[in-house]
Amino acid sequence: MESTKTAPVKTVMFQKVLIANRGEIAVRIIRACKEMGIKTVAVFSEIDRKALHLRFADEAYLIGPAPSAQSYLDMKKIIEVAKKSGAEAIHPGYGFLAENAAFVKMVESEGLAFIGPPSSAVELLGDKVEARKTMKNAGVSIVPGTEVEIASEDQAISIAEKIGFPILIKAVGGGGGKGMRIVKEKSQMKEALRGAQSEAKSAFADPRIYIEKYLEKPRHVEIQILADKYGNVIHLGERECSIQRRHQKVVEESPSPIVDAKMRKAMGEQAVTAAKAAGYVSAGTMEFLVDQDRNFYFLESNTRLQVEHPVTEMVTGIDIAKEQIKIASGMKLECKQENIKWKGSAIECRIYAEDPDNNFFPSVGVVHSYLEPSGPGVRVDSGLSEGLEISLYYDPLIAKLLTWGNDRNEAIQRMKRALSEYRISGIATTIPFHIGVMNNKRFKEGRIHTHFIEEEMEKGQLIVGRDSDDILEAVAVFSALLDFQEKKRTKTPSSKTKSKESPWKIEGRRMGLRRFR
Residues with Cβ < 8 Å from 378, sequence gap 6 or more? 401, 402, 403, 414, 418
CA angle 438, 28, 10 (to 5 degrees): 130
Q: How many residues bind ligand ADP, per CB under 6 A? A: 20
Kindly state whether residue 184 participates in binding ligand ADP, applying the rule CB under 6 A: no
**Nearest approach, Cβ of 295 to ligand ADP (angstroms)?**
13
Kindly state whether residue 218 participates in binding ligand ADP, applying the rule CB under 6 A: yes
Question: Which residue, 269, 281, 274, 268, is CA-closest to 331?
Answer: 281
What is d(CA 77, CA 43) in angstroms, rounded to the nearest whole number? 10
**Nearest approach, Cβ of 359 to ligand ADP (angstroms)?**
20
Residues with Cβ < 8 Å from 147, sequence gap 6 or more? 129, 132, 133, 136, 210
What is d(CA 92, CA 75) in angstroms, rounded to the nearest whole number? 11
- What sign has the CA pseudo-torsion 357, 363, 369, 370? positive
**Nearest approach, Cβ of 277 to ligand ADP (angstroms)?**
18
What is d(CA 94, CA 325) in angstroms, rounded to the nearest whole number? 14
Q: Show the site string, 250-289: x = touches ligand ADP by CB under 6 A, - = not.
A: -------------------------------------x-x
Kindly state whether residue 450 participates in binding ligand ADP, applying the rule CB under 6 A: yes
**Nearest approach, Cβ of 290 to ligand ADP (angstroms)?**
11
- Taking CB under 6 A as the criterion, the residue among 55, 186, 194, 247 binding ligand ADP is 247
Closer of 81 and 140 to ligand ADP (Cβ): 140
Q: What is the 3-state secondary structure (H, E, C) of 418-456?
A: HHHHCEEECCCCCHHHHHHHHHCHHHHCCCCCCCHHHHH
- Taking CB under 6 A as the criterion, the residue among 175, 207, 257, 503 binding ligand ADP is 175
What is d(CA 218, CA 299) in angstroms, rounded to the nearest whole number? 12
Q: Where are the alpha helices (DSSP H) in 2-118?
A: 23-35, 52-56, 75-85, 101-109
Closer of 51 and 347 to ligand ADP (Cβ): 347
- Of residues 395-434, those binding ligand ADP (CB under 6 A): none
- Of residues 154-173, those binding ligand ADP (CB under 6 A): 168
Question: Which residue, 449, 434, 128, is CA-closest to 303?
Answer: 128
Question: Which residue, 305, 316, 381, 375, is CA-closest to 345?
Answer: 316
Residues with Cβ < 8 Å from 444, sequence gap 6 or more? 409, 412, 438
**What DSSP state is assigned to residue 145?**
B
Catalytic residue among 304, 350, 379, 408: 304
Kindly state whether residue 453 participates in binding ligand ADP, applying the rule CB under 6 A: no
What are phi and psi for residue 205, nearest 5 degrees?
55, 35
- Taking CB under 6 A as the criterion, the residue among 93, 174, 373, 377 binding ligand ADP is 174
**Nearest approach, Cβ of 208 to ligand ADP (angstroms)?**
14
Kindly state whether residue 195 participates in binding ligand ADP, applying the rule CB under 6 A: no
Closer of 74 and 287 to ligand ADP (Cβ): 287
Amino acid of residue 332: K
- Taking CB under 6 A as the criterion, the residue among 220, 239, 245, 350 binding ligand ADP is 220
Closer of 212 and 507 to ligand ADP (Cβ): 212
Residue 181's beta-bridge partner residues? 169
**Nearest approach, Cβ of 289 to ligand ADP (angstroms)?**
6
- Taking CB under 6 A as the criterion, the residue among 13, 163, 177, 421 binding ligand ADP is 177
Q: Is position 246 annotated as part of the catalytic site?
A: no
**What DSSP state is assigned to residue 256?**
-
Kindly state whether residue 212 participates in binding ligand ADP, applying the rule CB under 6 A: yes
Residue 142's beta-bridge partner residues? 298
Kindly state whether residue 299 participates in binding ligand ADP, applying the rule CB under 6 A: yes
**Nearest approach, Cβ of 181 to ligand ADP (angstroms)?**
11
What is d(CA 306, CA 249) in angstroms, rounded to the nearest whole number? 11
**Nearest approach, Cβ of 177 to ligand ADP (angstroms)?**
4
Kindly state whether residue 215 participates in binding ligand ADP, applying the rule CB under 6 A: yes
Closer of 178 and 517 to ligand ADP (Cβ): 178
Closer of 51 and 225 to ligand ADP (Cβ): 225
The distance of Cα 423 from the centroid of its chain, to the nearest Å, equals 22
Q: Which stretch binds ligand ADP (CB under 6 A): 27-35, 149-157, 176-184, 454-462?
A: 176-184
Residue 93, number of CB atoms within 10 A of its CB: 26
**Nearest approach, Cβ of 188 to ligand ADP (angstroms)?**
16
DSSP for 470-483, please give it: HHHHHHHHHHHHHH
Kindly state whether residue 143 participates in binding ligand ADP, applying the rule CB under 6 A: yes
**Nearest approach, Cβ of 100 to ligand ADP (angstroms)?**
15
Give the burial class of 42: count Cβ atoms within 10 A of its Cβ; 0-12 exposed, 13-18 middle, 19 or more buried. Answer: buried
Kindly state whether residue 244 participates in binding ligand ADP, applying the rule CB under 6 A: yes
Q: Show the site string, 29-68: x = touches ligand ADP by CB under 6 A, - = not.
A: ----------------------------------------
Q: Which stretch binds ligand ADP (CB under 6 A): 43-51, 95-103, 211-219, 367-375?
A: 211-219
Kindly state whether residue 300 participates in binding ligand ADP, applying the rule CB under 6 A: yes
| Residues annotated as part of the active site | 304
**Residues at the site binding ligand ADP, with contacts judged by CB under 6 A:** 143, 168, 174-178, 212-215, 218, 220, 244, 247, 287, 289, 299-300, 450
